[in-house]
Amino acid sequence: MAEPTISTTVDFKVDVLQLCEEAYERAGLEMRTGYDLRSARRSIQLMLLEWVNRGLNLWTVTEATINLVSGTKTYALSDDAVDILDAVLRTDTGLATQTDFNLTRLSVSSYAQTSNKNTSSRPTSMYVDRQNRVNVTLFPEPNDSTQDFVYWYVRRIKDLGDNTNNPDMPERFVPALIAGLAFNIALKRPEAQDRIPTLKALYEESYELAASEDRSKAPLVFTPLQEFIDVAL
C-alpha cells in the first residue's frame, strides 16, 4: 500500500474576505451584499479596539527612541501608541559606555504634587498622559541633548486595509477573530439570535486559548518573605 502524500508547505493564510465569509457561515448566514461585507469589516475594527482593552498582546509591543532636547520635558509618542510598558533613559548611545537608567512611572496625582516641575537634571521619572494621543513628561526636565528616551509601547492593531490583506496578528489569533466576528454578526441579525450564547462561548474560549499562548514565557522568581526565613532559622 502506497504511503500517503503529506504536504510540505505551511503557507495557509486567511484574508479579510475569507475571514468574513467563514464568520457568516458560523452564524448560519450567507454574506450576499456589499453592505454585509462592510458591516463585517466594521465589526472587526471595533473588535480589535476591544482587544486592546483585554490586555497585553505581545505581537503589538514595539520599541522606539526619542532624542531628548535640553529644556524640553514633554514629548509625543508614536501615533499608534496605546500605552508605555517600560522606558529607560539612555546615555552614550552606541558607545562602549552606553548606559540605561530606569525611569519610574508617576501617577497623575504624584506628578501633580511635584513641587518644582521645572527642575533641570537627568530625568529619573515620567508621567504618561494617555488621552487623545499618548504623551510623556519627564521629571526632572532634561538638561542634556545627547540623551535618548527609549521606550517599549503597546501599539494599536493595524487596520484591515484591502479585502485581500491578511489581518495584523499571529496566526494563532485568527480563529479567535473569526469566532468573535461570528458572534458580533449574530448580534446584528434577528435570524441568528438563537446562536448567540454558543457563539459567545466559543469566542471567549478561542480568545483565551490564543491569549494564554501569547503570554511571556519568562521564568518566575519567587522571593520568600523575611518573616518566613526568620521562622525557618
Question: Same domain, yes or no, for 71 and 147?
Answer: yes
Same domain for 123 and 34, yes or no, is no
Give residue 155's pLDDT.
92
Same domain, 196 and 107: no
pLDDT at residue 216 in the model? 58
- For residue 70, give the C-alpha cell: 535640553
pLDDT greater than 80 at residue 134 = yes
Contact 53, 110 (CB under 8 A): no
Residue 231: inside a domain: no
- Shared domain for 150 and 66, answered yes or no, is yes
Residues 162 and 205 placed together within one structural domain of the fold? yes
202: Cα separation from own chain's centroid? 22
Q: Is residue 48 part of a domain?
A: yes
DSSP-assigned beta bridge partners for residue 87: 151
Average pLDDT estimate for 156-165: 86
Burial tier of 209 (Cβ tally within 10 Å: 0-12, 13-18, 19+): middle
Number of domains into which the chain is organized: 2
> Could you tell me if 30 and 69 lie in one domain?
no
Q: Which residue has the higher pLDDT, 39 or 117?
A: 39
Domain that holds residue 32: 16-56+158-214
Which band of pLDDT confidence, cut at 50, 70 and 90, is reported for residue 231?
low
96 and 63 fall within a common domain: yes
Residue 200 lies inside a defined structural domain of this protein:
yes
Domain contains 6: no
**CA 36 to CA 59: how far, in whole Å?**
30
Query: Do 207 and 182 lie in a common domain?
Result: yes
Q: Out of 95-104, 108-117, 146-155, which region has the weakest mean confidence (pLDDT)?
A: 108-117
**Could you identify the residue written with the cell 484574508?**
15
Question: 63 with 49, same domain?
Answer: no
pTM of the model: 0.77
Predicted confidence at residue 64, as pLDDT, reads 95
Calculate mean pLDDT across residues 50-63: 87
pLDDT at 53: 86
